[in-house]
Structure 1
Amino acid sequence: MDVIPARQRLLPLGAAAVTVVLWACAFVSIRSAGDTYSPGALALGRLLAGSLVLGAICLVRREGWPPRTAWRGIGLSGLLWFGVYMVVLNWGEQQVDAGTAALVVNVGPLLIALLGTRLLGDPMPPRLLAGMAVSFAGAVTVGLSMSSGGGSSVLGVLLCLLAAVGYAFGVVAQKPALGRASALQVTTFGCLVGAMVCLPFTGQLVHEAAHAPASATLNMLYLGVFPTALAFTTWAYALARTTASRMGATTYAVPALVVLMSWLALGEVPGVLTLAGGVLCLAGVAVSRSRARSARPAGATAEEPRPERVR
């Protein structure tokens, strides 16, 4: 029986953890920069900053252009995830409170699981289903506990739902491309496609940047360098080594981390319901990432060798 080296098992987990932490941090920056920058301008500035960083790394590493067979997935993920998702999420977060936005956007991992099973043939083991159910219940709990209680904008809810759909289809489109191109290539050119989609907002970006405080512009640049350039690359690296459904379930750790970061960095003490929801999110991720032990025939031992296959 082949044993997977520890390095090969731990690196994708580490990459997924980096992604989740940086995406959780991004929510704070989006809310802050969104007070100054309009949704399209913020998305364009973020994507341009990410494209510059990723392009420089590609030149240093001499990655070159992705093969033609990868361009369909890169183009679709760039359009739907880097482009549409970022604009409508920024817009949606200006229309509804953070709790409602988190609740609606967290439909995304469920859509990824359904689309991954249907379009990619991803397996749907019981542990993954159970873990996603627990995490979604936790996300709903966090969302309800953080909701302001006022009537949410119907437009805002629809925008957050559109963001979830764009996210899900973007991930499913990206997965096949990672079998033909490197994680860095897929991320870099997907980011460039997203930036091209957002070019109509160039005038807004130039005008708003001229009047924006330095803190808002730094937040926008931070979003481009870390939650975009770095986190999307580590995401692609991990996604290339597991299923879309399992990676989607991992992002349910984001609401729990947002609660923790708000507590530590902003002094926003979470209520009991919020803490309980965060714990459920993390517990569900743990269940969905676990694997069932292989059953052994009665009387078999760990040292018993497997019979060789007849060639």
Structure 2
Amino acid sequence: MTQTVPLTRRALPVAAIIATVLMWASSFVLIRWSAGELSPGPLALLRLLAGAATLTILLLWVRRGRITLPTRAAIGLTALFGVIWFALYTLVFNLAGHYIDAGTIAMVVNLAPLMVGVGAVVFFKESFSPRLFLGMVVSLCGIGLITVAGSTGQLALAGLGIALVAAFLYAAGMLIQKVALRHTDPLTATWLACAAGTIALLPFLSATITEVQTTSTPVILGAIYMGIGPTALGFWFWGYAMNHFPTGKVAASTLAVPAVVVIMSGLTLGEIPPPLGILGGAITLTGVAIAQLRRPARPVRPAH
């Protein structure tokens, strides 16, 4: 009986990470699939509208009909990471889907955990370990191979550049979220961030209304699913995990996303990254994995 509670406390954050990885992987495929019918702005706005509505319902349910706003500092931080991660990242992410396959986008975007590691050194005063340096070198070699695939015409260089910008926005949002979670709970932070991201995308409202009239029902339903699953539930689960594990450990879990994306994309869209792109992506993710390895030096937080 005494071992059940600690085991449950460890199992729930792990389950949250697994569910998030699966939902986020599906969003890469759906964004690529939707690219032929919806432009990046309307797709992002539809997704965030569905996400904001879902999060509002969740918050009212969890808080039993009462919503209490956090401090001004918390609101400011959540709004900032909402605009960066929910609005700008989603917009750029959608744009990348118009140029390259879902698997390649996933491999490039998953440079973000490495960027988070560097950001943690700069902003959180964490030590710059040899593993982080080695991981950076290895990942840069992998990105070089992916770029070569682009220069040979196997991939669109514009798409690779856009995906790299998305990775920077992803990392920036994750770092700001970590600070925001010091001032408020994961669900409130995700709700406020999604609301801020939705407001930031309102300039696309007119285009969204126009495009929805000619968009097929499955694509619209896909956008709504991305708002409910990968955005609302996924970011809520992610924030919950961030409160139970170190930033780097949670970020490293996204290394599984590209593999899942490649499988999903191959089965549903018939798209697989070119061999040179897969090799470069594997090397890139290996570098990220190396950078995220930590010595088991602190016995405070049990690892198993």
What TM-score does the superposition give when structure 2 sets the normalisation length? 0.81
- Equivalent position SS for 2:213: helix
Is the alpha carbon distance of 1:107 and 1:289 closer, same or farther for their aligned partners in structure 2, counting shifts above 3 Å?
closer
The counterpart of 1:255, out of the listed 246, 255, 258, is 258
The counterpart of 2:91, out of the listed 87, 93, 114, is 87
* Displacement after TM superposition at 1:121 (Å): 2.6
The counterpart of 1:219, out of the listed 210, 218, 222, is 222
- Whether 2:109 is the aligned partner of 1:105: answer yes
1:26 maps to which residue?
A: 27
Bigger shift: 187-196 or 143-152? Answer: 143-152
- Whether 2:34 is the aligned partner of 1:56: answer no
Verify the 8 A CA contact 1:103 1:143 in the aligned structure 2: no
Q: Provide the C-alpha distance between the structure 2 equivalents of 1:210 and 1:72, rounded to a whole number of angstroms.
A: 36
Q: Which amino acid letter does the alignment assign opposite residue 80 of structure 1?
A: I
* Displacement after TM superposition at 1:82 (Å): 0.4
The counterpart of 2:120, out of the listed 116, 121, 125, is 116
* Displacement after TM superposition at 1:190 (Å): 0.3
- Equivalent position SS for 1:242: coil
1:304 maps to which residue?
A: none
2:185 maps to which residue?
A: 182
1:243 maps to which residue?
A: 246
Is the alpha carbon distance of 1:278 and 1:65 closer, same or farther for their aligned partners in structure 2, counting shifts above 3 Å?
same
Point out where structure 2 has 5 or more consecutive residues left out of the alignment: 300-304
2:302 maps to which residue?
A: none
* Displacement after TM superposition at 1:158 (Å): 3.1
Is the alpha carbon distance of 1:144 and 1:151 closer, same or farther for their aligned partners in structure 2, counting shifts above 3 Å?
closer
Bigger shift: 63-72 or 34-43? Answer: 63-72
Q: Provide the C-alpha distance between the structure 2 equivalents of 1:143 and 1:103, rounded to a whole number of angstroms.
A: 12
1:172 maps to which residue?
A: 175
Q: Which amino acid letter does the alignment assign opposite residue 254 of structure 1?
A: V
Q: Which amino acid letter does the alignment assign opposite residue 34 of structure 2?
A: A
Is the alpha carbon distance of 1:37 and 1:241 closer, same or farther for their aligned partners in structure 2, counting shifts above 3 Å?
same
Deviations 1:222-279 (A, max 9, x none): 1100010011111111112233233222212111111233455567789988888888
Is the alpha carbon distance of 1:76 and 1:169 closer, same or farther for their aligned partners in structure 2, counting shifts above 3 Å?
same
1:309 maps to which residue?
A: none
2:199 maps to which residue?
A: 196
Deviations 1:99-157 (A, max 9, x none): 54334323322211111121023456666777787788788889988999446243x33
Deviations 1:16-74 (A, max 9, x none): 11111111111111112222111000000000000000011111222421222212320
Q: Provide the C-alpha distance between the structure 1 equivalents of 2:151 and 2:264, rounded to a whole number of angstroms.
A: 18
Is the alpha carbon distance of 1:87 and 1:145 closer, same or farther for their aligned partners in structure 2, counting shifts above 3 Å?
same
* Displacement after TM superposition at 1:204 (Å): 0.9
Bigger shift: 268-277 or 44-53? Answer: 268-277
Identity among equivalent pairs (%)? 38
When the two structures are aligned, how many residues end up with a matched partner?
293
Q: Provide the C-alpha distance between the structure 2 equivalents of 1:167 and 1:147, rounded to a whole number of angstroms.
A: 25
Alignment map for 1:259-298 (pairs within 5 Å)? 259-263=262-266, 292-293=295-296
Verify the 8 A CA contact 2:48 2:198 in the aligned structure 1: yes
Is the alpha carbon distance of 1:148 and 1:221 closer, same or farther for their aligned partners in structure 2, counting shifts above 3 Å?
farther
* Displacement after TM superposition at 1:213 (Å): 0.8
Is the alpha carbon distance of 1:86 and 1:49 closer, same or farther for their aligned partners in structure 2, counting shifts above 3 Å?
same
Is the alpha carbon distance of 1:102 and 1:283 closer, same or farther for their aligned partners in structure 2, counting shifts above 3 Å?
closer
The counterpart of 2:72, out of the listed 50, 68, 74, is 68
Q: Which has the higher contact order (CA 8 A, sep 6+)?
A: 2
Q: Provide the C-alpha distance between the structure 2 equivalents of 1:111 and 1:61, rounded to a whole number of angstroms.
A: 34
Is the alpha carbon distance of 1:278 and 1:100 closer, same or farther for their aligned partners in structure 2, counting shifts above 3 Å?
closer
RMSD (CA atoms)? 3.5
The counterpart of 2:100, out of the listed 96, 100, 111, is 96
Q: Provide the C-alpha distance between the structure 1 equivalents of 2:127 and 2:282, rounded to a whole number of angstroms.
A: 26
Is the alpha carbon distance of 1:27 and 1:174 closer, same or farther for their aligned partners in structure 2, counting shifts above 3 Å?
same
